[in-house]
Amino acid sequence: MEIVKISAIWCGGCLKTNKAIKKVKENYKDITISNLDYDMDEEKVAPLNVGEILPVMIFYKDGKEVARLIGEKNYDEIVEVIKRHV
């Protein structure tokens, strides 16, 4: 599974979600987590149809999007999605 997280340095919810993502990285070493900056990676972010609410986490399994979380999320909310799709 891969998670692509789109966030921005100015986003308070993104900063709070980073703590949860760090814990996910520690507990789910088989999951790849990529980070895209909403402002700096515009060419990569644009085709993902992110919208205006950040952060956005897109979950991929076998190269296909299986879930998307929008807005500030805690560890348990992220793990719930992981468990549904692993």
Residues marked active site are found at 11, 14
Could you tell me how far CA 19 lies from the centroid of its own chain?
12
Q: What ranges in the chain are assigned the alpha helix state H?
A: 12-27, 42-45, 75-85
DSSP assignment, residue 49?
Answer: -
DSSP assignment, residue 48?
Answer: G
